[in-house]
Structure 1
Amino acid sequence: MAAYNRKQRSSMHNKSTLVLLNVGHAIDHMFLLIFATAATTIAADFGLTRWEDLMPYSAVAFFLFGIGSLPSGKLGDHWGRRTLMIVFFFGMGASAILASLAQSPLQLACALALLGCFASIYHPVGIPMLVQGAERPGWTIGVNGMVGNLGIALAAVLTGLLVKHFGWRPAFAVPGVLSIVCGVAFTIVAKSESTPPAKRAATQSELPRGLLARVFLVMTLAATSGSLLFNFSTNGNYELLHERFAAVTRDPATLGLLLAAIYTVASLAQLVVGRLLDRYPLKKLYLTVLAMQIPFLAMAAHAESWWLYLLQGMFMIAIFGAIPFTDAMIVRYVDDRMRSRVAGMRLAVSFGASSSAVWLLGPLVKQAGFSVLLWMMAGIAALTFTIVTWLPTQGHNA
């Protein structure tokens, strides 16, 4: 079986394809957070007095990012994953360039909505394509997760620098051009699929229907609460640092670099988790990571300056460290023939529901402040911990 997996992997992916699949994850997360990093500058350009008033305009993008995963997953299994990834790269690039041309909040919201549609392709299509035939799926997912969240770090530092020196429009346009270049490269190096995944032979035995339903329920609920934490934190971290770090600096480029450092270190947690997933029971490891989120979020609620920065780093390590588990569950429990569809269903629910975090972020912080937000996030982390205790503990897969 191992020899078959190696043969299957080598026949599907060359090294350049694997690199571009990982780069695609970075693009996916980076593009969705350019707006959050540049929100203050964009709001001022459009004549709004507060950044919080602009945040709801990006909510549709995150909603479509989630709900679009359903058709993306179905097309990935039935149409072919390579084709969908080409659409992803070109669509992300074109949407970002359109965003850079927006002349009003409504126009920007429409461009971001289109961006969300194309962004919905990656997770249900790119990750199953990446792990197909992988000998160490946990490690593969960990590396992919790390690269994806380095895209978040890149969004913070690159957007901060471009906004400071050139304005917010190049912060969308420059990455947009780079995505199109990646699309050209992927079209050239990625091998064509002879058969769509849905029409291939099964590669692993199926779980009993009742157990699979239970796993899917836990996976979806945990992913939803985890995505809420992810959206609240990644979309709010820059403004949190801007507010609580004022005694040190408010320079956008410096804050972007500081936040990029947090995201870079936090991304490394996914490498550690990925390696451990190939060696230890998933449930115990997942609960351990989730248990770290609660105290760090609670303590950060009332922290300032460098203490806030330290705690921000710690809770981001725990939030990023939890990300690989839902993809690992799909790999362990679901055959490759239908992974894109299962991932699409899970993502449509979890990302669609968690898009409310983007819509609520601005009004919530405006009315109650970051302390209330962080306590709310600690409560969500506790809820996620409770949900994961329902995961089956039978055999190695647990």
Structure 2
Amino acid sequence: MNENDRALVQFTALAHGLFHTYELSIPLFVGLWMAEFGVSAAVIGAVVSVGYGVIGVGAPVSGVLSDRLDARRLISAAVVGMGVGFGVVALARGPITLGAAVLLWGCFASVYHPAGLSLISRTADARGTVFAYHGVGGNVGTAFGPLLTALMLMFVDWRLAAGVLSVVAVLVGVAGTQIEFDVGGDDDGMAANEDGPSTDADKSDPHGDDPEETSGSIVGELRQMATSSRALFGAAFTVAFVAVLLYGVYYRGLLTFLPDVLAESPALAPVELLGRTVQPSQYVYTALLTVGIGGQYVGGRLTDRVPSLTAFLGFFTALAVLALAFPIVREAGTVPLIGICLLLGFFVYGTAPVYQVVVAEEAPDDVQGLSYGFTYLAMFGVGALGASLAGFVLTNSTSAVLFAVLGGVAGLGALTVVALRRV
């Protein structure tokens, strides 16, 4: 990587880490919310799905904005907004207000991935390596954010813990303003966008009927988005979209209730330490997320050495096998249980940079932002149904059934990648 790539990694990795700090701290609050508000896993799963889902629903709009506006400013706005949203979570008084607060957080969170990934895709020279380090930054937040949350929850009420986490956004925002890098062609694009439609387009249609003339209006933007979307969704991108959707369902279904599922094991039952209750399951959960840092790095670097679809198929296959094996291994003792959790963390996060490269390869350069917008509609929007699915299964059946369902989802993902290789 050159100096500009390194600065780009610093800026995007900070914001990416913050996103995942919030996203993966939420499961640590799930059990406390069920107890405080007196609701079932199915209800909390639905509430959490609202916030996670809007990340994906808003992603295409964020993708369009990322193709037309200053991606750096969008990312900065997302950082501040996520902090505000999580601060409001601390004030929730019931499942409805909690859902509204998580929804607010999700609206701002929806901006990050389309803006951040399109910025990397357009700006980085060593794209695969920058994606890898960007993923590592996300997993640092993924691991240490929940670890900080778990430690705080030993000593303070969950509301105060949520409030403290909201302050982190301010610190990250200040740190981001100190990082300088050249965004290359984005500056030119911004200048054109700020000045209005292309002057060439104006000259070509003196009667004002050129569709470009309406690009500044809401109707014009919607038409442009529809046109770009039709061009984007060729056969290959459509199949890739379905593959990412299935990965999103697996990801959300696995992680949302994982601390509570792990707590079912006698080996990870709560213990009293120095007069306080310690939840070993929370620390195994954070260890799983920490191992994901290595998975992100390996997955990103792997795509520089082998075809991305080959890597995608391999990771999906591993996820299917691990999910099906989990209920069996969990009964074998503490060490095997921790071992399979670490493998799950490695492979579930190692898949992320792989599919990001697949999307970059299947989408035209001029709609990279929109492509990632739709990608995260699949990953976080439709994928958020994984939280509802997990809550429903756990309310009406067992965690063993949940992992069998997740294994089937990953198996379908592998078959989808096989189909993508044939397109």
Task: Name 1:160's counterpart in structure 2.
Answer: 150
SS in 2 for 1:189: coil
Deviations 1:37-68 (A, max 9, x none): 1122233233x165554332212101101100
Distance verdict in 2 for CA 1:318–1:154, change over 3 Å: same
Paired residue type of 2:34: A
- Give, in angstroms, the shift of residue 256 of structure 1: 2.4
Gaps of 5+ in 1: 201-208
- Give, in angstroms, the shift of residue 253 of structure 1: 4.8
Paired residue type of 1:195: D
The counterpart of 1:30, out of the listed 21, 25, 28, is 21
Question: Matched residues in 2 for 1:311 and 1:189: separation?
Answer: 39
SS in 2 for 1:323: helix
Deviations 1:236-280 (A, max 9, x none): 211111112456545545332222112111320121121121121
The counterpart of 2:307, out of the listed 281, 293, 306, is 281
Question: Matched residues in 2 for 1:256 and 1:276: separation?
Answer: 30
Question: Matched residues in 1 for 2:31 and 2:24: separation?
Answer: 13
Question: Matched residues in 2 for 1:49 and 1:356: separation?
Answer: 19
Q: CA RMSD in A?
A: 2.6
Task: Name 1:257's counterpart in structure 2.
Answer: 283
Task: Name 2:91's counterpart in structure 1.
Answer: 101
The counterpart of 1:116, out of the listed 100, 106, 109, is 106
Retained in 1: the 8 A contact 2:121–2:368? no
Question: Matched residues in 2 for 1:197 and 1:379: separation?
Answer: 45
Distance verdict in 2 for CA 1:51–1:71, change over 3 Å: same
1:294 aligns with 2:320: yes
Question: Matched residues in 1 for 2:86 and 2:69: separation?
Answer: 26
Task: Name 2:31's counterpart in structure 1.
Answer: 40
The counterpart of 2:292, out of the listed 241, 247, 266, is 266
Question: Matched residues in 2 for 1:142 and 1:84: separation?
Answer: 22
Retained in 1: the 8 A contact 2:284–2:341? no
186-195 or 138-147, larger mean C-alpha shift: 186-195
Deviations 1:140-161 (A, max 9, x none): 2122222213322224312211
Question: Matched residues in 2 for 1:252 and 1:52: separation?
Answer: 25
Question: Matched residues in 1 for 2:167 and 2:268: separation?
Answer: 37
Task: Name 1:372's counterpart in structure 2.
Answer: 401
1:21 aligns with 2:50: no
Task: Name 1:347's counterpart in structure 2.
Answer: 376
Distance verdict in 2 for CA 1:309–1:116, change over 3 Å: same
SS in 1 for 2:257: helix
Question: Matched residues in 1 for 2:257 and 2:362: separation?
Answer: 34
Retained in 2: the 8 A contact 1:32–1:116? no
Distance verdict in 2 for CA 1:293–1:14, change over 3 Å: closer
- Give, in angstroms, the shift of residue 176 of structure 1: 1.1
Retained in 1: the 8 A contact 2:250–2:406? yes
Question: Matched residues in 2 for 1:144 and 1:36: separation?
Answer: 23
TM-score normalised by structure 1 residue count? 0.86
Retained in 2: the 8 A contact 1:85–1:126? yes
Retained in 1: the 8 A contact 2:237–2:363? no
Question: Matched residues in 1 for 2:91 and 2:232: separation?
Answer: 50
Retained in 1: the 8 A contact 2:132–2:296? yes
Question: Matched residues in 2 for 1:22 and 1:293: separation?
Answer: 25
Query: Identity, % of aligned pairs?
Result: 24
Distance verdict in 2 for CA 1:290–1:108, change over 3 Å: same
SS in 1 for 2:419: coil
85-94 or 253-262, larger mean C-alpha shift: 253-262
Task: Name 1:215's counterpart in structure 2.
Answer: 236
- Give, in angstroms, the shift of residue 79 of structure 1: 1.6
Retained in 2: the 8 A contact 1:137–1:278? no
Distance verdict in 2 for CA 1:59–1:147, change over 3 Å: same
1:226 aligns with 2:247: yes
Retained in 2: the 8 A contact 1:229–1:380? yes
- Give, in angstroms, the shift of residue 378 of structure 1: 0.5
Deviations 1:193-222 (A, max 9, x none): 52337969xxxxxxxx99971221121011
TM-score normalised by structure 2 residue count? 0.81
